[in-house]
Amino acid sequence: MLSKACIVGAYQRKLEEMAALPGVDLTVLVPPSWREGGRELLLERAHTRGYALEVLPMALNGHFHLHFYPTLRRELRRLRPEVLHIDEEPYNLSTYLALRQARALGCRTLFFTWQNLLRRYPPPFRHMERYVLRHADWALVGNQAAEEVLRRKGYRGRATLIPQFGVDPEIYRPLPEVARRAEPFVIGYAGRLVPAKGIMHLLEAVAGLESDWQLEVAGSGPLREALESRARALGVEERVSFSPHLPSLEMPRFYNRLHVLVLPSLTMSNWQEQFGRVLIEAMACGVPVVGSSSGEIPNVIGDAGLVFPEGDVQALRDALQRLRNSPALWQELAERGRRRVEEHYTQARVAAATVEVYRQLLQQAS
């Protein structure tokens, strides 16, 4: 597997689960770091049992479309894999190069995509994507709309809906030792501070809540100063706290301090919510979730949380007030969320589904 995402320690539990399945000999190739949003994420070696986690140098680190691995061809010749899982979008240079190099060795290939909007890319990305869609043996799609996008772009191969990563329910779980007081009602947001995430709407919504509340925001981005300024203008700056992006292994404690996690994403001309990983992380921790109607959010939440029309501040405020006023509803959604994760979104379930695709790929080749 070739994956820059697997530098994140919590995500590596999927790799351990995959490696533990019968007949799997897994090597995962990762860069030493990934630069994004003005920060550098360093490789975490948190869960490395049963498989090989090897570091490759990356060229053009931080360039989502243009990064690639100069020594990949040599590594593939050394490893001689039967299947190469390219954990990247089909329009990226790294995917295009990896696919060509794998095909030259007679290796079966698959890629992963979140893309749930039909977007036409300029050359050379259009040509690279066309090559990948024509020659890849399988596609993994992270949401329900992504396969439709692939088909409309001409992809004729097999596709399977599997989230890129699940959560480990032993890591993301209710933590009795983390104190969650009855008051104030703690509302949380975790993610990028950018307009598409709807965080300004969340701030407007909580400012009108009746009762004692606190908003905890974990994340970084260009809206930080504007959010602080708006909180002052609304007279709620003492109730809103900001912390920078937290390492993945610190997130369970963050979620366990909350009464509710909110993902108020907004659909933009070039983006809509592709999954909303923070939702399943919070649900696994027994924290009720409230999400907007953008993209895949309603499908992820199902009946285990509350969904409001994106951009509707009053509807979001009403959902939060409803949770605040009904301990019975709060408890019911906390239990439903945890159960939904156990049934659909654990790392073990994602790993098993992924390995089953590998097996089918090899059966096709025989």
Query: pLDDT, tens digit, for every residue of 247-298?
Result: 888 999 999 999 999 999 999 999 999 999 999 999 999 999 999 999 999 9
The answer to whether the CB of 177 falls within 8 A of the CB of 153 is no
Q: How much of the chain exceeds pLDDT 90, in percent?
A: 92
pTM, two decimal places: 0.88
Residues 6+ apart with CB under 8 A from 229: none
CA atoms within 13 A on the CB side of 280: 25
Burial 285-307 (b: 16+ CB within 10 A, else e): bbbbbbbbbbbbbeebbeebbbb
> What's the chain's Rg over C-alpha atoms?
21
Class of domain 5-166+346-365 (CATH, top level) = alpha beta
pLDDT averaged over every residue in the chain: 96
Residues 176-204: what's their mean pLDDT?
A: 93
Coil, helix or strand at residue 69: coil
Write down the pLDDT at residue 251.
Answer: 93
State the CATH architecture for 185-344: 3-Layer(aba) Sandwich (3.40)
- Written as one string, the DSSP assignment of 187-248 is EEEES--SGGGTHHHHHHHHHT-SS-EEEEEE--STTHHHHHHHHHHHT-GGGEEEE-PPPG
Write down the pLDDT at residue 31.
Answer: 98
Q: How much of the chain exceeds pLDDT 70, in percent?
A: 100
Q: What is the rounded distance in angstroms from the CA atom of residue 32 to the CA atom of residue 56?
A: 7
Strand residue runs (E) in the chain: 27-30, 33-36, 39-42, 52-55, 83-86, 108-113, 138-141, 158-161, 185-190, 213-218, 240-243, 260-263, 289-292, 306-308
Q: Per residue in 41-60, pLDDT tens?
A: 999 999 999 999 999 999 99
CATH 3.40.50.2000 residue window(s) in the chain:
5-166+346-365, 185-344
Q: Which residue type occupies 239?
A: R
Query: Quick one: pLDDT band at residue 183, thresholds 50, 70, 90?
Result: confident
